[in-house]
Structures are given as structure tokens and as C-alpha cells.
Amino acid sequence: MTRLFGTDGVRGLANRTLTVDLAVRLGAAAAAVLATETGLAPDDAGARPLAVVGRDPRVSGEMLEAALAAGLASQGVDVLLVGEVPTPAVAHLTGRHDAALGAVISASHNAMPDNGIKFFAAGGHKLGDEVEDRIEAALTEGAITGPTGSAIGRISRATPEDALDSYVGHLLSATPARLDGLRVVVDCANGAASVAAPRAYREAGATVIEIHSSPDGYNINDNCGSTHLDDVRAAVREHGADLGLAHDGDADRCLAVDSTGEVVDGDQIMAILALAMRDAGELAGDALVATFMSNLGLKVAMREAGIEVTETKVGDRYVLERLREGGYSLGGEQSGHLVLPAHATTGDGVLTGLRIMARMAETGRSLAELASVMTVLPQILINVPVEDKAAVVASPAVGDAVAAEELRLGATGRVLLRPSGTEHLVRVMVEAEDAELAREVAERLAGVVVAV
């Protein structure tokens, strides 16, 4: 049986695979596990545990928010709806309100018809596999009975100001320098960053030009944001900005663009912030956590700087696990999903943007200069649509093809083939010193995947 939870919660086509019924039952199951099993169930005096629920602006979020809240309340959990806020804001507010759990309704960078539900445990921490397995077991074992009368949970709604004031204040306290004099274009992806990101950057002192910051429920991630950088690149050049920042639909990612319009990806951002944190004495163990997808150039640059790179599987949850296990202070992914555990329990794209600009302000150097610490080796990624990801990856034909191409590349390149955690795709990534060679290898392997 296919596992319901992927690498980032439960995700699918809203009102088809992710239905109202499923959202109600997920809410009830999560409440039963995260409230009851953690000792935060309603007590004898009638006090009820609290869940903080936020969402991104996509149209299906309204219906799924109502369904999820109903499921939570049915288990005696009070629900605080905090509205359209970034995913890291929900994590922050879960901790601030001493809530038993938090939940975000978002499909992140996916297209508008999709949606998702992901949970935070008390303190705003993402769930481990074993907790998700318990929630899934509670979900599939049949009806979940709940309390009656005064023990049923209540649902209330925070004002946007109440939710954002706390979150933005927290971000500003984690920004080590004022940003006065910096001019930034921010692409909000018509998503959850549309209010929070421009406000945080302005209050930190930057001059902000907003694009794609008018969500209408339908335009989230529509040719904009961190997966479509053409508009932010053009806007940076048009306005003579010092940099551009692009977020995804739920604002847990951030990619950057320098003043010439060149993209600065998550690996380069990690290199910039690792050096900044090392210089400030904040980089625990002089190490950072990256995934196997990170560019080889990051390892080379960090080795030359005396910084260790420890690798983990792809997915921010695995980066978080390694950060906690090793007591590290910086980790992230090439996609721009960075985590700074001293200031956030999950990836926070707005915090990342603030820290990039703070480094520019502290050093007086341009983003291009800061990013030049790392030479990006050519890396080709092809996403191949498939019906059965697991079967394709396990195929002997695919394994033999990968081994043959790795032998051909030798020590100057590598191949990584993996299933997407959130979509029906197999990702074929090839890295080599020569871009044309990397493309040829990636295309051959993609052809093998299609043929399986």
C-alpha cells in the first residue's frame, strides 16, 4: 500500500485525491496522535489543547481549512485559524502559542489545482516518519470517536495583524544588520509571502519593489516565484536593483538574483551564509548540512574555506533531522529551502532573504561578489513523468544504465536518479565538468526511464 505521507506532508489534486473527507479524517487522526499521545489531551478541568492552522492563498485552501479545523475540533482540540501566512509563520506561531500541534494547508511550489496538508508537532517541529505512520494508522483503522458536549473543540480566527506582527517581529530580531540603502525586487509567487515578505524587508530598511504579490486564489505559482525566475530577473535589471528574491507559494524557499540578473541558487546561498555565520561565530562545528543533490562546487568551496559539508537525503525533513542530530546551525537544499535552527524550526524563505541582504550590508559587497566564492559545475536535471515511481527506480534496466553512465563520467561527474517525494516524477540529475556531456547523459537516462 502506498504511504499517504510524502516528503512534505499529504499532497494531491484538491477535491480529487485530497478531499474534504480526507481532510476531516486527517485532522481527527492528527489530533488523536499529537494531542493524546503527547499528553496534551483535554484535562479533567476541561482545558483543551490548541492547534494553529494556516494556509496559502490557493482557492481550495478555504474548503480544506474548514474541513481540517472540523476534524481537529471533533477530537476536543481548539483551533486558531491564522489565515494566509507563510509555512514558517505557522511553525513560529505554534511555538509561540504553546500549541499541541500546527498545520499548514499548502502545496508549496506546486500548481494551483494541487494542495496539501502538513503538520507540526508542539514547538513547531516537523514530524518524523514514525509519527506520520501513527497518524496514518489512526486514519485507516476506521471511525475515530470523539468527545461530546463542552469537550468539543472551539474554532477561532486570528486577525492578520495578530499573526503577522509576531512573525515579522521574530524575523527582524534574527536579522544581524540593517538593510538601509539596499534596493530589492521580491517575487512573492502570488502566494503566502505576498504580505509578509515585502513588510519584513521594508521594516528591516530595504527599498522594496514587489511583483506577483496580488493573490486571487488562482494565480499562485503561475509563471512566477522561485520556479519561474524570468520576471524577477527582468525586474531587477529594469529597476536597477541590487538583487532580486523569489519565494515559492508557501514562502519556505528563497532563490536570489544578482544585480545583472544572474541566478544565485540555494547552494550558493548556503555558501554565502555559511561564511557569514562562521565569521560571526555562529556556525556550529564549522559545518553545514546539504543534500546529495547539492552541486559539487559547494563541497569544493566549503573545503577550501575549512567548512565541512555533511550530506543527507533530498527533502527538508531529512536536512532538519541531521541538523538536530548533529547540533548543526545551517542546512538546506539547492532549491532554496534553507534552515537556521537558532531562529526557525523549518525552512524560512523570508529569513533567508533577510540574512542574504544582511551579509551584503555588513560586507559592502554585491551579491555577485559574495556568490563568487563558489563555482557552479554544470548540472542537468530532467523530470520524467511516470506512473509508478518506485518500480522505475527499482528497475534493473535503469540501474544498469545508471552504472554505465557513471563509469563513463568517472571521477569528474556523477548521476543521481530518484523519485519525487510529492509528484509522479522520476528526477534524473547529471553533473559533469562539461555541460554538453551532462545533458547527453541525462537525456539518455531519461529515455531509459520512459521506456521502462
The string of DSSP letters for 47-64 reads: ---EEEEEE-S-THHHHH
Query: Which residues are paired to 418 by β-bridges?
Result: 427
Whether 261 contacts 344, CB under 8 Å: no
Instruction: List active site positions.
Output: 108
| 392 domain residue, yes or no | yes
Domain CATH number, residue 312: 3.40.120.10
Amino acid of residue 297: G
Return per-residue pLDDT of the chain as tens, 452 residues: 578 998 789 999 999 999 999 999 999 999 989 876 655 555 555 679 999 999 999 999 999 999 999 999 999 999 999 999 999 999 999 999 999 999 999 999 999 999 999 999 999 998 888 899 999 988 876 667 789 999 999 999 998 788 999 999 999 999 999 999 999 999 999 999 999 999 999 999 999 999 999 999 999 999 999 999 999 999 999 999 999 999 999 999 999 999 999 999 999 999 999 999 999 999 999 999 999 889 988 988 999 999 999 999 888 888 999 999 999 999 999 999 999 999 999 999 999 999 999 999 999 999 999 999 998 889 899 999 998 998 999 999 999 999 999 998 887 788 999 898 778 899 999 998 889 999 999 999 999 999 98
| 5 domain residue, yes or no | no
**Strand 263-264 and strand 254-258: pairing?**
antiparallel
- CA 122 to CA 98: how far, in whole Å? 7
Same domain? For 282 and 344 the reply is yes
Same domain? For 195 and 129 the reply is no
| 293 domain residue, yes or no | yes
Same domain? For 386 and 366 the reply is no
C-alpha distances (whole Å) from 132 to each of 5, 53, 80, 126 are 7, 18, 22, 10
Domain CATH number, residue 411: 3.30.310.50
| 4 domain residue, yes or no | no
| 42 domain residue, yes or no | yes
Report residue 264 as a C-alpha cell. Answer: 544565485
Q: Which residue range(s) make up the domain with 59?
A: 10-158
Same domain? For 400 and 331 the reply is no
Same domain? For 306 and 394 the reply is no
Report residue 379 as a C-alpha cell. Answer: 548540472
Residue ranges of the binding site for Mg(2+): 108, 248, 250, 252
- CA 258 to CA 359: how far, in whole Å? 14
| 439 domain residue, yes or no | yes
Same domain? For 216 and 232 the reply is yes
Same domain? For 142 and 192 the reply is no
Same domain? For 136 and 107 the reply is yes
- CA 111 to CA 247: how far, in whole Å? 14
Domain boundary (116, 138, 158) is at 158
* 326 Cβ neighbours under 8 A, 6+ residues apart: 285, 287, 289, 310
Same domain? For 351 and 262 the reply is yes
Amino acid of residue 65: E
Same domain? For 118 and 189 the reply is no
Domain boundary (371, 398, 425) is at 371
How many folded domains does the chain comprise?
Answer: 3
Report residue 117 as a C-alpha cell. Answer: 496538508
Residue ranges of the binding site: 108, 248, 250, 252
Grid look-up 540529475 returns 429
| 2 domain residue, yes or no | no
Given strand 413-419, what is the order of strands in its sheet?
379-385, 425-432, 413-419
**Crossing angle of the two packed helices 266-279 and 296-304, in degrees rounded to 10:** 20
Whether 160 contacts 83, CB under 8 Å: yes
Q: Could you write out the DSSP letters of every residue in 128-139?
A: PHHHHHHHHHHH
* 206 Cβ neighbours under 8 A, 6+ residues apart: 179, 180, 182, 183, 184, 357
Same domain? For 152 and 198 the reply is no
| 59 domain residue, yes or no | yes
Domain boundary (338, 371, 404) is at 371
Query: Which residues are paired to 279 by β-bridges?
Result: none
Same domain? For 234 and 280 the reply is yes
Report residue 230 as a C-alpha cell. Answer: 524570468
Report residue 59 as a C-alpha cell. Answer: 482557492
Predicted pLDDT at 235: 98
